[in-house]
Amino acid sequence: MTAVIRRARPGDEAEITAMIYELATFERAAEQCTVTETQMRTALFGPDPTAHAHIAEVGGRIAAGAVWYLSFSTWDGQAGIYLEDLFVRPTFRRRGLARALMRELASVCVANGYSRLTWAVLDWNVDAIALYDEIGATPLREWISYRVSGPSLAELAESG
């Protein structure tokens, strides 16, 4: 069956949210995932969207998705895409859907003059790493990702 890659549209938020939970389970962090369909609907389709998504459909079923947002490079002076989540449902893996979604996001970058497509991958996800190596991505090994969230975020905000 042929895959159709398209922008997410209102009504897709239930499947997108479900895939986010499926990804959280795959990444062994389901207990940290608290997103709701309402939050995703607002983030993707509200009056001031903060995220975007693309969907891969196979036989009319949503088989994979990519959730992304715009970033900005001060060095390039241009926007780019930060790919937050890329997930292919297990029964649809090994069909080129992840590659097709990456190709579509690269096309969005080129069409809009964005200078980069960036993402992170867990170091144990060897299948994803193999794909990223295949498509010519460069691991940024010299960079260490940091995050502040939850109580630490609140404490930082309140610190004087």
Q: What is the pLDDT of residues 51-82, one digit of tens each?
A: 999 999 999 999 999 999 999 999 999 999 99
**Mean pLDDT, rounded, of the chain:** 96
Rounded distance between C-alpha atoms, residue 54 and residue 5, angstroms? 7
- What per-residue confidence (pLDDT) applies to 160? 84
The upper half-sphere exposure of residue 51, i.e. CA atoms within 13 Å in the direction of its Cβ, equals 20
**Amino acid present at 88:** V
- Number of compact structural domains in the chain: 1
Say yes or no to pLDDT of 132 above 90.
Answer: yes
Q: Quick check: pTM over 0.75?
A: yes
Rounded distance between C-alpha atoms, residue 22 and residue 29, angstroms? 10
Please give the residue range of the domain that contains residue 153: 3-158
CATH no. for residue 98?
3.40.630.30
How large is the average pLDDT for residues 25-31? 97
Q: Give 136-148 pLDDT, tens digit per residue.
A: 999 999 999 999 9
Say yes or no to pLDDT of 15 above 90.
Answer: yes
Say yes or no to pLDDT of 1 above 80.
Answer: no
- What per-residue confidence (pLDDT) applies to 59? 95
- What per-residue confidence (pLDDT) applies to 103? 97
> Percent of the chain, pLDDT > 70?
99
How large is the average pLDDT for residues 6-32? 98
Instruction: Classify residue 151 as left (phi > 0), alpha (psi -120 to 50) or beta.
Output: alpha
Query: What angle is formed at CA 101 by the lines to CA 27 and CA 75, rounded to 5 degrees?
Result: 85
